[in-house]
């Protein structure tokens, strides 16, 4: 075994040990519990596009960050919106089911700007939201996701993801 392959073997072993230690249990080589992928969101008359992700941090706990962007123009008026945030969720375990429902609480930030000829205004906001949703595992590497964020009228987001 060369020195380079020995270093890689040690690094791989340490990485797997860290995964097992931080996951709170055993992790099989086939288990894929995190994901990242595109999303589309609907709420308050806006449609936004972005990226959502899930990172499992314990047996039934995940962190779910997201960022989404939207632009809208009607005549001389244009608007842009950026939403970003992350939630901590409890992931319900339904035995023998590809549906993986969850519920949690998160932090949401937003920036918005509106422009008309000769003037523009922009602002930021933030707050706490409640979230419910479900992942659906299509295969070992592909999942679908839908969630609803309860804040200021609500916000529905759907997407697909690559599982790893």
pLDDT tens track, the chain, 164 positions = 433 433 333 333 334 334 433 444 444 445 789 999 999 999 888 899 999 999 999 999 999 999 999 998 899 999 999 999 999 999 999 999 999 999 999 999 999 999 999 999 999 999 999 999 999 999 999 999 999 999 888 889 999 999 99
**Virtual torsion, Cα 96, 98, 99, 103, nearest 10 deg:** 80
Nearest alpha-carbon partner for 89 in 19, 33, 28: 33
The answer to whether the CB of 70 falls within 8 A of the CB of 78 is: no
Strands in 44-141 per DSSP E: 46-58, 61-74, 77-91, 99-116, 119-137
pLDDT of residue 151: 87
pLDDT of residue 30: 54
Give residues with Cβ within 8 angstroms of 143, minimum separation 6: 35, 37, 135, 136, 137, 160, 161, 163
Distance CA 19, CA 23 (A): 6
Kindly report the pTM of this predicted structure. Answer: 0.77
pLDDT of residue 87: 98
pLDDT of residue 60: 95
pLDDT of residue 125: 95
Judge: domain 32-163, CATH 3.40.630.10: no
């Amino acid at each position: 075994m060369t020195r380079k392959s020995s270093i890689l073997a040690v690094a791989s072993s340490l990485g797997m040990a860290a995964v097992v230690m931080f996951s709170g249990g055993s992790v099989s080589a086939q288990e894929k519990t995190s994901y990242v992928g595109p999303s589309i969101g609907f709420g308050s008359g806006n449609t936004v596009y972005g990226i959502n992700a899930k990172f499992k941090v314990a047996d039934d706990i995940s962190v779910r960050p997201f960022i989404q962007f939207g632009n809208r123009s009607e005549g001389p008026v244009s608007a842009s919106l950026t939403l970003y945030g992350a939630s901590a969720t409890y992931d319900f375990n339904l035995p023998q089911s590809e549906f993986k429902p969850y519920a949690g609480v998160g932090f949401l930030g937003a920036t918005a700007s509106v422009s008309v000829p000769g003037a523009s205004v922009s602002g930021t906001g933030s707050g706490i939201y409640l979230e419910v949703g479900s992942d659906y595992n299509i295969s070992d590497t592909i999942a679908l996701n839908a969630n609803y964020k309860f804040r200021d009228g609500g916000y529905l987001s759907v997407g697909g993801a690559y599982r790893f």
